[in-house]
Structure 1
């Protein structure tokens, strides 16, 4: 089977999460991805814990199926070798601060002069220009500065720290891979490459469509704990059970709400919209009267969009995901350890079929290419 990115060569100058996950998606779809890493230590993610052998588990999961070469881009030999690889590439992915690649002599203009067909993807926090372009930040900073964090709140009203790196993946990786694929298609039509300016912060506004729509049309700016998806209704809530576990309930539609109120023993609430604080308090009290397992049994087979909140360890053993083979693929680490591969949103028909693929050892030689060390 010919994979969709078969024959596409990618040079990956990124580190940590957004860029490496983007190029992982391309590698899984058949692209030949070459990581250019620092000779001393390589990608910073290699040093993270936990480790499996000499390298981080995180690094292995994010770099399955890629190749690695070690180049000092500040030396004449390293720069020349990198430029030689880029000249043969279809895609370049980098996530330095704006201006760094130009100072290294590898900016878009320099690269495009050698390879006008290159898709040059730059991932940064705030984009290549603007007042915040050079500001150092991490995921939570982007969430804070785009209004998303303010709409999350705990019982004390303070914003809640998300357990996922939303800006890195949803604002960085996914827009990057989407635009790279669009640019490759555009190149098919025009014969020319382009530069892609991906801002992780800007990518978050897409997720705030409902909040922007509400606020910008004069319907009041949304508040934490007061809106449909921020805790303002009994129909979209996390409820504590008698054994201090939790149910995630989302019976938004009328038919689901009717089923939900019947199961909890309060059918009279079916005629309410769930917005009254008294209704939320009544439902919370009923849910708190039984254990989580009792509710799981009562909701079994009922269309009420209500489930138990489970730990990640339980989720990895959930029969549905296991039966669908979500965790079948593996990574062979440089030291020989075999770890689980990262599930990625690529259809099996579009993905490399190999169950086990290697995580690259730092500086592994490329056929016909002698890296600068």
Structure 2
């Protein structure tokens, strides 16, 4: 049986990025068949190689984000090495970079230099705040983008303080995913017209998509979300977190009447609290009292199999046992300096029909940039 031809077979990608947003984007392209060459700083390489814990000579984080790629060291401030990288760009279909605005231009590797050598190039720049404006040159990380976008402050605790996000939402939802979508669209356009383009991916600005409901409400009412007081941010008893007697939590998302009506009857909430409209805070207090009267195991048994959109907040061990976290994935990564060390890695969000089949792929050692082309 012959291997299927993958959607991005033959697509060549030069990845100048580091850490998370760009490398995760190029990983998705690689999973769909693209040939990804990663350019890293000489010596230490991508800073993520040094994270802990290690899988072989590099970090586990680096391993899962860069499996199946090749990595070469190049000092982009050295004109000769810079020109060698530019030669790769001339043969590539896609470039991904994640420097602050203007840095690659000063290095001689910006879009204009790339486009002059290769008019079909799809050039993707991932930045924190976009290419222009007073924040464009500012250093930042995921938490900063969430904070300045307004999103971090919409959910607050009883002290009125925001909480740390559950993951790096800006990096992935504001950086990686928009980059992948736009690269694929631009490749399609280049295929039809023979012309590439410069994609500007601003992580802070793309977070607006996560605020679609707040935006829609503002357009009609002129109001912005009240911290901790909207339907999905703590203002409704139907979408709330409630403590249990053993210091676990219940995640209630019984928004629709059919779920809510069944839930309040099932947990034996006093009927005068069933209609929550106009007494939201009172109902929240009553539900807090009910759920905190019993341990999580009681509620888990009671809610099992019931259509109420209400569950116990799981630990990681429980999520693995339930099959919602796949730690035995057939997609595996190994260390190039220790091929016997093999671990399961991130399941790809690319559909199985469109990506490489489950196998074991190494993450790349950092090699000297060869004099000849790295492309086959």
TM-score, normalised on structure 2?
A: 0.94
Determine helix, strand or coil for the equivalent of 1:201. Answer: helix
Hey, what's the Cα distance between the residues in 2 that align with 1:256 and 1:232? 18
Determine helix, strand or coil for the equivalent of 1:150. Answer: coil
Unaligned stretches of 5+ residues in structure 2: none
Segment drifting more, 132-141 vs 260-269: 260-269
Equivalence for 1:331: 333
Segment drifting more, 11-20 vs 49-58: 49-58
Determine helix, strand or coil for the equivalent of 1:15. Answer: coil
The partner residue of 2:302 within 285, 298, 316 is: 298
Determine helix, strand or coil for the equivalent of 1:271. Answer: coil
> Greater relative contact order (Cα 8 A, min sep 6): structure 1 or 2?
1
2:241–2:251 Cα contact (<8 Å) kept: yes
TM-score, normalised on structure 1?
A: 0.94
Change (3 A) 1:27 1:326: farther
Unaligned stretches of 5+ residues in structure 1: none
The partner residue of 1:253 within 253, 256, 266 is: 256
Change (3 A) 1:178 1:154: same
Task: Indicate whether 1:283 and 2:287 are aligned.
Answer: yes
Equivalence for 1:344: 348
Hey, what's the Cα distance between the residues in 2 that align with 1:190 and 1:205? 31
Task: Indicate whether 1:169 and 2:141 are aligned.
Answer: no
The partner residue of 1:240 within 234, 239, 243 is: 243
How far is the alpha carbon of 1:221 from its aligned partner? 2.2
The RMSD of aligned alpha carbons is 1.9
1:186-208 Cα offsets, whole Å, 9 max, x none, are: 11221100000110000101111
1:142-163 Cα offsets, whole Å, 9 max, x none, are: 1111110110211211111113
Change (3 A) 1:66 1:205: same
Alignment of 1:15-54 (within 5 A): 15-54=18-57
Hey, what's the Cα distance between the residues in 2 that align with 1:265 and 1:364? 68
Equivalence for 1:154: 157
Hey, what's the Cα distance between the residues in 2 that align with 1:72 and 1:365? 10
How far is the alpha carbon of 1:32 from its aligned partner? 0.4
Hey, what's the Cα distance between the residues in 2 that align with 1:28 and 1:313? 28
How far is the alpha carbon of 1:327 from its aligned partner? 2.8
